[in-house]
Structure formats: C-alpha cells, structure tokens
Amino acid sequence: MTEKLRNHNIYQTEKGGVVKAWTNGVPFEDSAKAQVDNIANLPFIHKWVSIMPDVHKGIGATIGSVIPTVGAVIPAAVGVDIGCGMMAQKTSLTASDLPDNLFKIRNDIERAVPHGMSKGKRDKGSWHDPPELVIQRWTELSMDFDAICEKHPRFIKTNNMNHLGTLGTGNHFIELCLDEEDFVWIMLHSGSRGVGNCIGNYFISLAKKDMERWMIHLPDSNLAYFPEGSEHFADYCQAVGWAQKFASTNREIMMANVIRSLKLGKQIPDFTLLETAVNCHHNYVARENHFGKNILLTRKGAVKAGEGDLGIIPGSMGARSFIVRGKGNADSFHSCSHGAGRVMSRTEAFKRYTVEDHLEATKGVECRKDKSVIDETPAAYKDIDAVMKAQSELVDIVHTLKQVVCVKG
C-alpha cells in the first residue's frame, strides 16, 4: 500500500519494512527500489528507511538512502568512498573580476591540486613530494592511523599521506561558481581517496565472511553487517571514523591550495573569504539520536540537514548547484539529497552521448570537453531543479550557484 503525504510517499514492502521516499517528480527505477526494499526488511532498521530524490542503484545499498540501524552497521552501505563530500567557500570576488579567458585559471588549479589517476611507478593523482601543509595535517591523522594499522596492517601500504589534499577521479571536481549576486565561490567534491577505498573494501569482505561463518542468509551479500559487540564492529567504527576525518581534512587542504593558486596566478585581483566555509560529508555513518533512540545513521549519498545545518547539493557539470539550510525534518532523519543523482550508468552515457553533445551541454563552462568525461555530462544526471522541488520540505535554498570553471580528475 502507498500513502501520499505532503511531498513524499510512504509505502510498506511485502515483508513489512517501511520506506519514506522524497521522489515525487523524479525517476525512482525498479532496480533501486528493489535494493531499498531489501534494506528496509532488515531486522535492525529503526523505524524506516528514508529515500532522497537523487536515488539510484548502488552496490548493495542504494545511493540516496538514509539507513538508521540499531546494534549493527553495514559497511557496504557506507561504501568505499568513505567520507566523500563537499566543501564550498564564498569569496569577495565578483564576475567582473574574472578574465574573459578562464583557461589559465583552470590550468593553475590543476597544477595546484593533484587530480586523476594513473597506474605505474607513481600515481599522477598523488603528491610526489608532499608540501608542508600536507605533512603537517598528516601528522595530526597518523597516530590514530598507526593504531588502526596495528590490528589491520593491510592499510599500511596505501597511498595515504600522498593522497591527502588530492582530488581523485569520477564525479569528483573543483569548481569556480557564481551565485545569484555574481559573487565567486570555490566549490569542491572529494573523499578519503585510496586509503578510504581500501578500508571500505577490506571491511566489506570481512562482513561477508562473518555472514558465511554465522550462516546468515541475506537477499544481497553486499548487505553483510557487523552486529554491535562482534569481533569487527568496533574496529570498523574506528577505521570508518578515521577515514571520515581524513576526507574532511582532504577537502580543507584542497581548498587552501586552490585559494593559494588563485592568489599567486595573478589572473584576478586579491580577495578575501566571506561567510563560513561549508564542509559536509555525504557518504558516512554517525551516531545520532532519532525518535528518542541512540542509533547508527548511515547516509549513503545524503547530507545532514538538521534545523539550521548548512549543506551543499551540487548539480552536474553544466547545471546549477545549491547551498542549502536544513529544516530538521524528522521523517528524513534530518537529511537531504547529495546531488542530482545519475539516471544512467557511466557505460550507458558513453554509448548514448557524443563529444558534440557534451560541448553543447557545458557551453559557457571552462572545463574538459573530451570524450573521457562524457560519463559526467549533464544529461547523465537527473534534473537538479526537479530534485530540489521534491525535497522542498527538507531544505531551504540559501544560495544558487552556477559554475564557470570545472576541474575533473
């Protein structure tokens, strides 16, 4: 049965799980819905699973889902891009301060922040000689990392310090944007890089082995979980918490280096920073209290939107993005979407769209326009305006941003 309530839908799965979905006016494909139903039916779900309007199929857990659990955590629900999220900073610059040709600015940013990935002796997306800021911030992270590695030495041989302050690949980006008053914003998107990926995959594998050992049968092996008090539960919580801290620090270093590159590049006047920078995760797990219960809340492609919380909801390469303020909607577990959400796989986007399509879709944006980024073309994503309309009871829009420069890995 489905009951329409305001601008979200409530339904019960065949096995009795409850889902609340803010998906009116946006696609919610059957494959994603099947994943959501599997999660909602798990015995340790608290109340219901909340679905954001950018929902789309993931691995095990659906992207755009908010999963409240009691006494258990699902590593694959957090995923392997642990702590992935956004940071944005308003500057005193305005559109009139930018040069007509923005290529040099994009080039300066690309030189200041390692990006992309290559195989071989050294990953081009890592530091060859980490700068002082990276070394200093790694020192702050290394003590807890060493303690984790004592129990799980697999993490030692990861590109940890050399990835701190770097962008990565895929949908990660650095942008210069203009707001509704033509002020320039710096906005970026990245997570915990190689070390977070290793932590995620390692514990997902351990959880699957635990399920086999305990003969627990799940509808999807990627929903393997650690019960609280079990052998790996505390170690996973410690490692995932550290990876989330790494991700937040990673964004702070990138932001500092982008600001420095803009000041040293001499393409624009000197500037100051305005308003408080927003730095928010959208792939993470946290201990929170909802409906009178202390729980573990996993936001898989979702942003915390408690009353007054500032968050960032980016569009695609050619679409608008938003700085938002949370309304503290209890039914969504104080959450909102983390972006527009894909409407097709990367493989499908490469098949369906051409470089000419991408050129037209990113007109007016200084960015890469070659065939290797077609999977990130705007048409591969949902309409961000429809996504924002679907979650009007979750957030208020504070600023509307439109990119003029976009750096991709």
Strands 49-56 and 18-21: parallel
Q: In Å, how far from its chain's centre is CA 91?
A: 23
The dihedral over CA atoms of 10, 345, 63, 174, expressed in degrees to the nearest 10, equals: -130
Distance CA 114, CA 127 (A): 7
The total of other beta-carbon atoms located within 10 Å of residue 399's CB is 21
338 included as an active-site residue:
yes
List, edge to edge, every strand of the sheet that includes 85-94: 273-281, 85-94, 183-190, 173-178, 395-408, 320-326, 310-313
CB 285 within 8 A of CB 319: no
**How far apart, in whole angstroms, are the C-alpha atoms of residue 200 and residue 117?**
19
Q: Which of 8, 282, 338, 399 is catalytic?
A: 338
Q: Nearest 5°: phi and psi at 79?
A: 90, -170
**φ, ψ at 174 (rounded to 5°):** -125, 130
Nearest to 158 by CA among 181, 138, 180: 138
Tell me which residue has tokens 């990835």: 163
**Strand, helix or coil for residue 252:** helix
Opening angle at CA 204, ends 43 and 87, nearest 5: 95
As given in the structure block, the two tokens for residue 95 are: 């559109």
Which residues are marked as active site? 338
